Amino acid sequence: MVPDDMPPRLRSLVERALAAQAESPTPPLPDPEPAPGETREDWERRVARVRAQHDALALETAARYGFLGDRDDPVGSIGYVDIPVEGGTIAARVYRPIDPGDRPPAIVVLHGGGWWMGGGAQGYRLGDGTCRMLCHGLGAVVLNVDYRLAPEFRFPVQLHDARDVVAWLRRGAGPQVDPDRVAVAGTSSGGHLAAALTLLLKDEGEQQLAMQVLVAPAVDLAEDPAGLEDPQALRGIETLRRYYAGDAPNRAIPYLSPLRAPDLSGLPPAVVVTGDFDPLTAPALDYVERLREAGVRVDHVSAPVTHTIGAQEDWRAAEEQILAACRELL
């Protein structure tokens, strides 16, 4: 159902997307674990095959309807690095500004995709505009991190990957940046990881990040989004949570549900971006309130968009607000 109060230009986009979905349904999500009698190798191949289909659909949707960061800002250079992490090595695409100065700030970008998609070459393409925007608009070195994906890798692997990237940057092993101005930015599941990362660094007694940018973040894995009643959508959300959290007996722990952390004091200033028609917005707004109550500065940017769809002029307005807030913090 399309809400009655949805603006006409957004309604038109959403109705087009719903019609396209009805005509060509999204491939079903693969099972969170191998089926009875299926080897892990066969299951991983099946996951990879369906993931590629979903990534291709995400690229098509982005091209058709636009998205946050759908822009082509100039940057100085783009390269790739391999980063050692606990249990392996991951890659990142690195954006350097045209005039980086002596020690520029750095932003670790954690992509969205329900913890299970949005990685690799397709993820770099999806995140290119956002990374360019942050690099050009803030004069920052930006790393689009290809963290390990669920369900092959589960919590806390992705969170530890993010932590290890920050540590790698700060010890000067990669691009030369200001270790005191390392920030994190994430969208949706990436926003979840970004929020959890700040809690992890606090608990481990590490230097806190300079800033956290949370775009449509998933901050509560313990409960279904309020107001979302579509059974198919709810089943899909539960599958994604199982991909990442597995059969964790308590999804209310802070690293899975940052909203439920007992103490949010000492976290870095935040820029939180929400959509007026996104089911993840209600818990995100609760998180904004709790951060503020804990003494954390929060700049809140809202836009008349869904979780993934919005009119270009509304995305552009939100982007300018995001950059303005980030410039004050970084």
Of the candidates 192, 257, 307, 314, the residue annotated as catalytic is: 307
Paired tokens of 70 = 């759908």
Cα Rg of the chain, angstroms: 19
Asked if residues 13 and 311 have their Cβ atoms less than 8 Å apart, the reply is: yes
Strand extents, DSSP E, 97-227: 106-110, 141-146, 182-187, 212-215
SS (H, E, C) 71-109: CCCCCCEEEEEEEEECCEEEEEEEEECCCCCCCCCEEEE
Residue 160 appears among annotated catalytic residues: no
Of the candidates 178, 278, 299, 314, the residue annotated as catalytic is: 278
Residue 278 appears among annotated catalytic residues: yes
The SS3 of residue 187 is: strand
Find, among 272, 135, 277, the residue nearest to 212 by Cα.
Answer: 272
Of the candidates 128, 146, 178, 188, the residue annotated as catalytic is: 188
Asked whether the CA dihedral 64, 67, 72, 75 is positive or negative, the reply is negative
Residue 263 appears among annotated catalytic residues: no
Paired tokens of 327 = 């410039």
Residues serving a catalytic function are 188, 278, 307
